[in-house]
Structure formats: structure tokens, C-alpha cells
Amino acid sequence: MAQARLYLDWNATSPLHPAAREAVLRAMDLFGNPNSVHGEGRVVRAAIEGARRQVAALTGADPAHVIFTSGATEAANMVLTPEFRMGRTPMAVSHLYYSAIEHPAVREGGRYPKDNTSEIAVTASGILDLGSLRTLLAGHDKSTGLPMVAVMLVNNETGIVQPIDEVSKIVQAHGGLLVVDAVQAAGRLKLDINALGADFIILSSHKIGGPKGAGALVSRGEVLMPRPLIHGGGQEKGHRSGTENSLAVIGFGAAARAAVAEYDDRNRTVSLLRDRLEAGMRAAAPDIVIYGVDGSRVPNTTFFTLPGLKAETGQIAFDLEGVALSAGSACSSGKVGESHVLTAMGHDPRLGALRISLGFSTTDDDIDAAIAAFTKIAARRKPAGEAA
């Protein structure tokens, strides 16, 4: 009999939540165009607006401030632009400052020319260097336009939580805009766009148990908005043209609703599982390096280096044991390369690191199986200095 697979790569994508699956199946019978005024169209429009309210509730935002996109990458490219409008008046947002540990969707700079972007350093603990942020913003030339700062709330590789409340105070003091990538935070931290002090939040459906193909850009208000990335029929109040992907959006809404309803139980359970996993890994390999253990992390993520085992080799070894995990982030078409996050933290990235991430359907038996696989792989590795 074939060995059962064990999925421990929830930060890459989440299995579809049962509530999202049911919502998508029901929505498949709703064939009208949501922008049509007849009854069939109005039914789909009502379902989309229901999903908008559910996603807004996930972030403490006004539903009117949720713009649906095809995913977080599109949302990032939409908001990372020097061209904004304050009502009908053009406003320049001349320079983008982003942390050194951002996802490539942000690190690429969106619609900013490379010369108009700057990287903010992080500490060895993987936390944004607030002193560097202050220095960069103090040197910003306000005559060219406002500064924009993009910082993820939770790092996708390490699970480390960034001090967004402090970041927002610094950005506001310098008259800038703050964009927060909350893709890995949604469902794992309680989100409130106003409490965070963020001007915009980026979300992804498939990271919280919704279908792929939907995301959102959530704004704190409607007065200052970026120039649209996609032009056409003027859907999403003119901010994002194109007929809405109703199936994905409705599933996204259901997943968001489940994330809010299950928040406490889900995170309590996952935290206990992650702690037991790390204890078992340390018992099998006392020299393991687990990143972020001394700081604030979301409860589902373990990012580790096992001396004597290269990340690529480890990922393949776990896969052969029936365990799916990642060597860093899953954002480069399956390529396994050096982690820019480890580099930014001042670690030697050549050995690399592996990421285990858990989710709402992870069980105690899964943790037992993961520890057993880890123990076998750790016992087979070469001595330090002779990495496989």
C-alpha cells in the first residue's frame, strides 16, 4: 500500500477549507455576470458583496475599502506605484522603502523604477531595523513626493512578527504611506488595519484556506488611492477592471469567515503542535538551529537549519519520506536557491534552511510522523563541514 503523504507546507498554500469548498460548489450554479442588472447578475453581485464583508471583517476594515484582485502579487503591484490620487488630484509617492526580508512580489518594487527604491536592513533576529528606517526617511526628499514604506507583518520563511505598530509611528511622523503584507498574518494574528496604522493591507485567499486566484488590497480610506493597474470596464469602483472571479472571491470570503470564527481554537492547537514538533526535533538533533525562537513568531511556523544537511538535500529527503515541506519560500517556480531572508539576518545562506508550516487540519499523528521522518534524516546526515 502506498505511503500516506504528510502536508507540512501551509505557508506555501493551504488545503481548501471545507467551508470554502462548500461555498465554491454552491457558487458554481451562479452563472450570471455580477455587473449585469438583471436578476441572475444581482444574485452573483450579492454573493460577492457578502464575501467583501467577510474579508473586511478579517482585517477590521470597512467593506467599501476591500478591492478584490487575482492574488497578493497583483495587489502588491497595484499599490506599489508612484502614481496616486487624492480624490481627483494627482499625488506623487516618489520613493519606495521595503524591508530586506520582503516577499519577491514587494522586493521587485511594483511599478517603481529601481532607482526609486531602497532596502531597509533587518537585525540578526530578523526584525526590521527601526534605526535604519528612521535614517532613510529622514533623508527622503519630500519635494519629490511622499515616501512609501512596505513591511510584511509576518515573514513567510521564519514566521517572525514585525513591530508594525512602531513602524507605523515612524512612517506617520515622516508623512509617508505604509503598506503591510499581511498574507502570512491573516488567520494567525488578529488584524485591525486601523490599530496597525497601515494605509494598505495585502491579502491572499489560498494562504487561509480559500481557492487560488483571489486576493485583496484593503485600504484604510478611499480618498488616497493608487492609479489602477488594470484598466477596462471599471469594476471594483474603477480600481480594478475585469469581471470578478466570483468562484474564487466567494470561496475567499468563506475562508475569511472561518479564519475569524476558528481563530482562538485553531491557533491554540497549532501552537501546541509546533512546540511538540520542535521539542522532538531538538531531541533528535541537539545541534539544530531554529530561527526566531527568542522573539515573536506566529504559532504555525518552524524555520530551521540542520548542520550537515543542505536545504535542497533535506527537502528531497523529506519528500521521499512522504513529507511535504519547503526550503524557504515557495515563490520562484519551484527553484531552490539561497534564502535572501537568511542573508539579510547575517547568516550564511549557503547551507540554507527548511520550513515546516502547520495548519487547521494538522494532527498529533502528523507531528509524530514528522518527528519520525526528521529523526531518520538527521541520523543519516554527514558530519558538520561535509554537508550532503
Among 121, 130, 324, 331, the one annotated catalytic? 331
DSSP output for 37-103:
SSHHHHHHHHHHHHHHHHHHHHHT--GGGEEEESSHHHHHHHHS-SEEEETTEEEEEEEEEEETT--
Handedness of CA 322, 328, 333, 336 (dihedral sign): negative
Number of H helices, E strands in the chain: 12, 14
Distance CA 196, CA 180 (A): 9
| DSSP letter assigned to residue 23 | H
Distance CA 236, CA 165 (A): 29
Distance CA 349, CA 310 (A): 10
DSSP output for 95-152:
EEEEETT--HHHHT-TTS-GGGEEEEPB-TTS-B-HHHHHHHHHT--GGG-EEEEEEE
User: Which amino acid is it at 230?
Assistant: I
- Cβ neighbours for 170, distance < 8 A, ≥ 6 positions apart: 130, 133, 134, 137
| Length, in residues, of the chain | 388
Angle between helices 263-284 and 364-380 (to 10 degrees): 30
**Furthest CA-CA distance within the chain:** 70
Backbone phi, then psi, for 68, in 5-degree steps?
Answer: -80, 140
262 is catalytic: no
| DSSP letter assigned to residue 384 | T
Q: Which three cell numbers stand for residue 246?
A: 466570483
Question: Which sequence positions are flagged as catalytic?
Answer: 331
